[in-house]
Structure 1
Amino acid sequence: MDRELSVTLTQANDACSVALDILRNKNDYNEAHLEPMKNDLIDIQTDYKSILALMYTHATTLGIAFKPPSTPAGAIRPLKDLSTDISNLVGCVQCLRAGAHGKTLHREATWRAQEIIEAVHALLQTFLASKWDESPKQDKTYLMRIGALHSAIDFAKKDLSMDNTAAILSSWKSHSNTLADALAECEELQEESRRDSDGTIWGKRMTNDIAFVLLMCAVQLRLIALIRLVSVLHQRVGARHIVASLPNTVLDSILETSDAIGSAVDDLVSSLYAPQDLLAIKGELDGLEGAVASLQKLLNSSWEDELSQSMAAVSLERTDDASPSKDRAWLIMCFQQIKQSIDAIR
């Protein structure tokens, strides 16, 4: 491999390593010590997507330069450009402040930048490991790496959230899907337990355990009702209470409770697999109860101010059921039913 090309590849590879180290350790610095913001969110996102477009073009040019018969001299410029792009992308991400623009959007932009730079890193390592001068036609791995990089860039440009509220709603939808999957899994486990109680499986092998099987069937039925309630509550909050009028700090905290609820439900369903332990199930119920209580506390504390104002601006196309008073009453009732369901299972 040409010496200048080898040096440039190594420098670009090192730039990726440094950039990834910065992005992975962004929590190590205090935003209070950073310079005041000079650009608004729209400007930052425009720069972000423009940098990604440049990276796409430079990666394509690099791939063409390495296409047999390779032209080392033609690869040096796009490699240097990619190094610059990576530095600019990290700088753009650093302009997004968790405090000013929202922690969820900040985390999303950071994660997408990491994914793209990791794809560049993998591409460059493929070039460094290949003996292009000896057998340029034998290794086509770089084509797959470029394709992966292009896909990561396209995904980030298309799906990067416009603001913190949109980023939270995107994550909220993912959490709702997690709850739906957990409900389906619990229903499947209950069906298996029902067959066991009918004597098709355990009834033949472990007749003495039939009482426990019947008990687990009853527990699972109640858990299905509980998870369904939690899922409905989660969907309602996402549809009517994740509003841009709330401070980013409040929205980010609400999303954290959503994540905690999803994890608690997953753990609860996992505890239903053999060997079942009622004490373990109770422990997971405690975790779910705590997560739901945290969500209720956040909603209650924000209701009188920003939330009540935002609900007053609900579209006229909605029914009276969407009014603040009725919506709050519905939430209170749902939280109470969840608490009662948990107590009944205990």
Structure 2
Amino acid sequence: MSTSGKSVKEVLQAFIENLDLVIDQLRKGESTRADTGDFQVDKYWTHLGAVVKAVSHECTKLCITFSTPPLPAPEECSGLVSGLERATLALVSAFYSLPTSQGLTLWKSSVDAVCDIIEGVQELVRRIAQAETAGSTDQLQSTGKVWESCNGIKDIPKDNKAAVIAVVTGASNLVKDALEELEAAVENEGRLDDLDLGDDDSDDLEEETWSEADKRTIAPCIGLVKAVKACLKKTSVAVRSNGECVTVAQITELDKLADVMRLTSPAVDDFVSGLYAPLDLEMAKDNARKLADIVLELLELSKTSHVTFDEDVQWITFLKNAVQHNLEKIQNPVNS
């Protein structure tokens, strides 16, 4: 990287802007590498790990140079940035050697990990550029975050099955939190658990709680969310026990499962957040239908994929019935 009369801050800012382009390309692009059948998984991850170490090393050099006065001259800064830029581009190049045929879920997981590293590098360089003095606290913290992201590369999923398991685990945790939130709302008569009602709001307390009719509607709402939680748990077990990512068909089936799994937690969140008092019944019905459609699709995909067998039909049917039963009760509440 030529300084061309640029100041240190200008050199750093130019690199920051280049990283914006790199991150944007990673987020929007796909691998152009054709899977010719010679892809070696172990070799790929070993090489990627080595390149990540190089990025971490170059970041450390940059941090050390800017940690104590005097600050480097533009020429020295340019040399350091050039080394870090080469390492970063090598990381991108290594990542792009992963064919998407290995699984789109694996691809997305890997993109997130690589972008996390590059965004960390960008933040480190930005902190150095903004610092008025050498060795700022922000700079040191940003360096630590880069190290953490680089070390974390060894823990990311290494095949599509592991990537799908990570997706369903994340979705399950979010649905579990939403269910606990809803159960807390039941204890608070439909009010937000952390809602602070002042004296001026005391007269409106009746309006901020569920009516008896609302409470009858909330019971099947809880049942529906519990069915979602059970569905994710059973699907997770099926993927862990029976999931394979050897053939194109198996990889594609896992990707389809992951795509629907990602929809569950946002749908549950929308559903639960719309149940607080005063209850909007029509919105609850609409959100329940959307959520039920997602769960039923996930169950059907599980049934027709390689992760389940004939003996799994029983729990799939049971959960389908549970979803439909609770949906029916939400759509047609009994007034009494």
Q: Normalising by structure 2, report the TM-score.
A: 0.82
Deviation at 1:69, TM superposition (A): 2.5
Of residues 72-81 and 266-275 in structure 1, the stretch that sits farther from structure 2 once superposed is 72-81
Of residues 184-193 and 233-242 in structure 1, the stretch that sits farther from structure 2 once superposed is 233-242
Percent identity over the alignment is 22
Deviation at 1:158, TM superposition (A): 3.3
CA change 1:340–1:78 in 2 (3 A) is: same
Which residue of structure 2 lines up, in the alignment, with residue 159 of structure 1? 155
* 1:65-84 correspondence to structure 2 within 5 Å: 65-70=65-70, 72=72, 75-84=77-86
Tell me the SS of whatever aligns to 2:158: coil
Are 2:243 and 1:247 equivalent residues in the alignment? no
Which residue of structure 2 lines up, in the alignment, with residue 332 of structure 1? 317
Deviation at 1:287, TM superposition (A): 0.2
Deviations 1:299-338 (A, max 9, x none): 2322xxx345xxxxxxxxxxxxxxx443221211221122
* 1:1-346 correspondence to structure 2 within 5 Å: 6=8, 9-10=12-13, 12-26=15-29, 34-36=33-35, 39-70=39-70, 72=72, 75-98=77-100, 100-131=101-132, 135-136=133-134, 139-155=136-152, 157-193=153-189, 205=203, 213-242=211-240, 243-245=243-245, 247-302=250-305, 306-307=306-307, 324-346=309-331
Which structure is higher in helix share?
Answer: 1
CA RMSD after TM alignment: 3.0
Distance (Å, rounded) in 1 between the aligned partners of 2:131 and 2:213: 62
Distance (Å, rounded) in 1 between the aligned partners of 2:238 and 2:220: 27
CA change 1:287–1:125 in 2 (3 A) is: same
Distance (Å, rounded) in 1 between the aligned partners of 2:303 and 2:214: 35
CA change 1:16–1:172 in 2 (3 A) is: same
Contact 1:55 1:85 in 2 (8 A): yes
Distance (Å, rounded) in 1 between the aligned partners of 2:117 and 2:205: 57
* Unaligned 5+ runs, structure 1: 196-200, 309-323
Of residues 249-258 and 5-14 in structure 1, the stretch that sits farther from structure 2 once superposed is 5-14
Deviations 1:164-212 (A, max 9, x none): 11011011111111111111011111111289xxxxx9xx957997996
Greater RCO structure (CA 8 Å; 6+ sep)? 2
CA change 1:265–1:85 in 2 (3 A) is: same
Contact 2:217 2:330 in 1 (8 A): yes
Contact 1:66 1:72 in 2 (8 A): yes
Contact 2:217 2:329 in 1 (8 A): no
Of residues 59-68 and 182-191 in structure 1, the stretch that sits farther from structure 2 once superposed is 59-68
Deviation at 1:128, TM superposition (A): 2.8
Count of residues in correspondence between the two structures? 311
Tell me the SS of whatever aligns to 1:72: coil
